[in-house]
Homo-oligomer: A and B are copies of this chain.
Amino acid sequence: MKIGNKGAILVLSGPSGAGKSTIINAASDEIGEYYFSISTTTRAPRVGEVHGKDYFFVTKEAFEEDIKAGNFLEYAQVHGNYYGTSLKPVREALEEGKLVIFDIDVQGHRLVRAKMNDITTSAFITPPTLKELEKRLRERCTDTDEVITRRIENAKEEIRAVGEYDFTIINDTIAEAAKEFVIVAKAARLKQSREDEEAFIRHWLG
């Protein structure tokens, strides 16, 4: 039995093309109920993107008001657009005891750690090598050469932060990566908040 009934946070980072969504989908039957955090952004929706599924699309003014009101768990500005994670749905999911999964970058991970370190577990998911990442990005044919080059440059930077994560999942085969992800997600659920620990000690002593 773990201490307390609150949920916990699992942060996933890693280059676009690492296979994060594929791994989560392959593991989803085994990891139990979770809430996949949806980011809020001021960038325009791309063809096929759905508000409330891919992102919450909002105006720059609305985003900046939310910043001032302290409504973001983490946010950043990239290429002139804001991206962030609203606190409210995360808090609600945690209250309901759910595992909250984030797909955010290295900088976002640092901000979540700074605010909710005691209930946070993190994993960096990556293809075995930079070469393999490039191969996969070219094979999926969804990005222009320019976008692929930018993703590669980002990945070269982000890999250096691998030591900041609790776990690294090297996505060599989906089956093996999904098996490891199940262990990481189950371990993440067992994390308890400092607050719950203090209440437990009082209860334990009687």
Query: Which A residues lie at the B interface, using CB under 8 A?
Result: 1-3, 126, 128-131, 156, 159-160, 162-163, 166-170, 172, 176-177, 180, 183-184, 186-187, 190-192, 194, 197-198, 200-201, 203-206
Given contacts A183-B183, A183-B186, A184-B187, contact A206 B130 (CB under 8 A): yes
A131 touching B206, Cβ below 8 Å: yes
B183 touching A190, Cβ below 8 Å: yes
Additional 6 contacts, C-beta under 8 A, given A2-B169, A131-B206, A163-B197: A2-B170, A129-B204, A129-B206, A167-B192, A184-B190, A187-B187
- 22 CB contacts below 8 A, A to B, read A1-B170, A1-B177, A2-B167, A2-B169, A2-B170, A2-B180, A3-B162, A3-B168, A126-B204, A129-B204, A130-B204, A130-B206, A131-B206, A160-B201, A162-B200, A162-B201, A163-B198, A166-B191, A168-B192, A168-B200, A184-B187, A184-B190
